[in-house]
Amino acid sequence: MRKLLVGVHVLVVGGFAVASAYANCGMCAMHPEKEKAKATSQSGAEIVLQTTCPVMGGKIDKSVYTEHDGKRIYVCCKGCIAKIDEDPAVYIKKLEDAGITLERVQTKCPVMGGEINKNLFVEHDGMKIYVCCPGCIAKIKADPEKYAKKVADELKMDLQTEEE
């Protein structure tokens, strides 16, 4: 009985390890990251999403990133953030030269046009709409669709400008 339990345990752990290695290898054409790595913009242009850390070259962790000039740069670990923050232009250029389209982030208040405060926002349909001051929150709550569209349009315009 003991051998059977050990055998089943090894089989289960071994099966999990094989599945995990397959899911994270990044080399297989069927790999989920490979499928997600490419997308198409509304204009039909191919967009290549970031999947590797520009500092260490490892797989990115989507919960660890830094933002510069309205662009989000994902990294593999918190240690890489400090390196990017020293000279973000170098890493942005490195990624863009590799054909990677960096994720755009909101930088302007859709009500007043000022710089956003990341502590002030309204959530609407899973989207955070950041504002510059508490006074703008009431305006967004009065017509969240209008301001969500304004933010989305701003980010799309920025992307189209970069593609041209």
Confidence of residue 27 (pLDDT cuts 50, 70, 90): very low
Which residues have C-beta within 8 Å of that of residue 112, sequence separation ≥ 6? Answer: 131, 132, 133, 136
Give the integer Cα–Cα distance in Å for 25 and 19. 10
Residue 85 structure tokens: 């923050």
- Locus of tokens 């950041």: 130
Confidence of residue 155 (pLDDT cuts 50, 70, 90): confident
User: Average pLDDT of 136-163?
Assistant: 79
44 DSSP 8-state letter? S
pLDDT of residue 40: 55
By C-alpha distance, which of 78, 54, 144, 67 is closest to 106? Answer: 67
The residue ranges of every structural domain in the chain are: 43-104, 117-163
Question: 24, 32 in Cβ contact below 8 A?
Answer: no
* pTM, two decimal places: 0.58
pLDDT of residue 125: 87
Give the integer Cα–Cα distance in Å for 116 and 90. 25
More confident residue, 63 or 41: 63
Where are the extended beta strands (E) located within 7-146? 38-40, 46-48, 61-68, 71-75, 103-104, 117-124, 127-131
Residue 67 structure tokens: 């933002």
